[in-house]
Homo-oligomer: A and B are copies of this chain.
Amino acid sequence: MTGRLDSWVASANTPETDFPLNNLPYGTMRHESGQLHACVAIGDQALDVTAMAKDGFLDLPEEVFRSGVWNDFMALGPKTWQSFRDYLSGALSAGSDQKERLAPYLSPLETARLELPFTVTEYTDFYSSRHHAFNVGSLFRGPENALPPNWLHMPIGYNGRASSVVVSGTDIVRPHGQLKRPDEEMPVFAPSERFDFELELGAIVGQPSSGPVSVQQADDMIFGYVLLNDWSARDIQAWEYQPLGPFQAKATATTISPWIVTKDALEPFRTSTPAREKALLPHLRDAGPMLYDIKLEVGLAPMARAETVISRTNYSQMYYSAAQQLAHHASSGCPMRVGDLLGSGTISGPREDSRGSLLELSWSGQQPLSLTTGETRTFLEDGDTVTLRGAAVAADHRIGFGECRGTLRPARA
């Protein structure tokens, strides 16, 4: 494991920062002009890449960063991803002769207004944590029938709604939907009473495909990762999902963290998927370690009160990697495009306190969760703020994702 790389941005040289020189995640901020600017996080600063490109600092055409989002850059491909990262690494490293040229492009992250770092082309959500699938399956069908028969053979997924993806910090309005209460004959249209979060990681497709791809090709197509909260209305889902799957239950909002952590930054933290209970078909077989050791946690804070960390888990728990998900996604010839977002599925670990949703943590509401404030929770209450955090952690530094946060507001009147 490489040690921390030092930068002339002093705040980047601490064990606590999410953004040491080893990380260099890509984001988008609202410039004072109102325009979106692409930026890179380093310590407690944001480096304005759009302004640098405009001033002719970069080897890349100004147009690449004009929109302020990273899609056009992603489209340039892995060689450009590497050379740009190499440039930034050098220019921001301690002792670089670029310090005086670059310093004017830094501004404090604290006051940056961060926006979605890429235009989400299409959004797909998977279901690839075995612990999560087992927990949910046990709740609905009992432990002996928990895993559907296809689950060990392919990463089950469904198409989500790209228009619903929002950046961390965006308020979430409790949705209305059709609910069928168990003791009533007819459904009602009412605010969801079982609104939940889902702790996930999102993989961003950075290169297109027009036919099936191998797991290795799929891994090469992935540009980076974000934290992802797939807000879920359990009661809407229970009534609507047969026979065509989740629809409005998952369409209100999906929050992502504002920084794209690149595959390069995560490279030292690669881990393998677990031993396979059933051999995978060749086109989905592991082609090397394609999960990552990323520590994850979920904080829940009632309005104006202290946060309780209600779950701690790790992305390395997944049964299928994003590369396997993408290889499955493209297997029918489905065209994949730059900016497609693939949700991992809820990341639950083996322990009760490593579950990635309230559905699991409160066992479908049967076991209310105690918060440090003295309150309890089964599902989310108005005013609750959910914050996902994640980092790959080395001895003297961490590759952090920043926060993925949202506050639940009351349903529309």
Q: Show the binding face of A for B, using Cβ within 8 Å.
A: 121-122, 127, 148-150, 153-154, 156-164, 173, 175-178, 180, 186-189, 211-212, 233, 236, 239-249, 251-253, 278, 281-283, 328-329, 331-337, 340, 412
Contacts and interface: CB of A to CB of B under 8 A. Distances in A.
- Closest CB pairs A-B (n = 9): A245-B245, A251-B334, A159-B159, A248-B332, A158-B244, A175-B332, A163-B335, A244-B245, A189-B281
A159 B343 CA distance: 15
A301 to B, nearest CB: 23
12 contacts: A156-B243, A157-B247, A158-B158, A159-B247, A163-B335, A164-B334, A164-B335, A175-B331, A233-B332, A241-B244, A251-B334, A252-B332
B159 A331 contact: no
Number of copies: 2
A240 B176 contact: no
Contacts of A160: 159
A247 B126 CA distance: 11
Nearest to A177: B332
B240 A150 contact: yes
B243 A148 contact: yes
A341 B412 CA distance: 27
Contacts of A337: 163
A154 B328 contact: no
Contacts of A249: 332
User: Residue among A158, A175, A211, A247 with the most chain B CB within 10 A?
Assistant: A247
A150 B281 contact: no
A54 B233 CA distance: 49
Given A160-B159, A189-B282, A332 B244 contact: no
A334 B187 contact: no
Contacts of A331: 175-178, 189, 248
Nearest to A121: B163
A247 B157 CA distance: 7
A187 B336 CA distance: 24
Given A156-B240, A161-B334, A252-B332, 20 more contacts: A122-B161, A153-B187, A156-B243, A163-B334, A175-B333, A176-B212, A176-B332, A178-B331, A186-B278, A189-B281, A189-B282, A211-B412, A233-B332, A244-B246, A245-B245, A248-B328, A248-B329, A251-B329, A252-B334, A333-B412
B240 A241 contact: no
A335 to B, nearest CB: 4
B150 A242 contact: yes
B163 A236 contact: no
A271 B285 CA distance: 53
Contacts of A212: 176, 412
A211 B174 CA distance: 12
Contacts of A163: 121-122, 334-337, 340
A177 B211 CA distance: 12
Nearest to A335: B163
Nearest to A282: B189
